[in-house]
Amino acid sequence: MSTSRPRALRALAALVAAPIALALAGCGAVDGLLGPGDPERDENGEVTTAADADIFSVTLGDCLDTAAMDPDAEEFMSLPVVPCSEPHTGEVDAETTLSDADHPDGFPGDEAIAEEADAFCLERFELFVGLAYEDSALDFWQFWPTEESWAEGDRLVQCVVESLEPVTGTLEGSGL
């Protein structure tokens, strides 16, 4: 069964860190102060160096070192991304933006949004892997907006295909 994991809201951290960063900007001491940022990417947008990336900078096709993630965490501010040519255990295989028109009353609640995300990612699993979820050795889970990030405009659901064993390259069409 897949696991849903909501995104963490970063607004408070930014409000606290921004004045400190401004004060230190002239000193060259800002690198890393505001937490994880965008990973290094090549001209095709592929990650070139393993990094702890801000969750909002992770994109379709990014590979993840899911073994390095806290399995008990319910929200994430960052994810360990790696080049797909290096051993990894997860890959962002699909994403969708939830429609405000489908949610006219605002945030639909954690349970409802988790069910919507799960249904989307299950449907995309077979299209990506090339094998039905029930027949696959792979698993999947997803990230979805929290109530707080929804209020900030976050509507992105991202699906992650996960392997128990490290793989290199993409899991797309793997039939695993």
pLDDT in tens, 62-114: 999 998 888 888 888 889 999 999 999 999 999 999 999 999 999 999 999 99
Q: Domain coordinates of the chain in residue numbers? A: 3-167
User: What predicted TM-score, i.e. pTM, was given to this entire model?
Assistant: 0.76
Please give the structure tokens belonging to residue 67: 């073994």
Please state, as a whole number, how many other Cβ atoms lie within 10 Å of the Cβ of residue 75: 14
Please give the structure tokens belonging to residue 166: 């490290």
Please state, as a whole number, how many other Cβ atoms lie within 10 Å of the Cβ of residue 83: 19
Please give the structure tokens belonging to residue 150: 């929804």
Mean pLDDT of the chain: 82
For the chain, the first-to-last Cα distance in angstroms comes to: 16
Residue 128, Cβ density class (10 Å: 0-12 exposed, 13-18 middle, ≥19 buried): buried
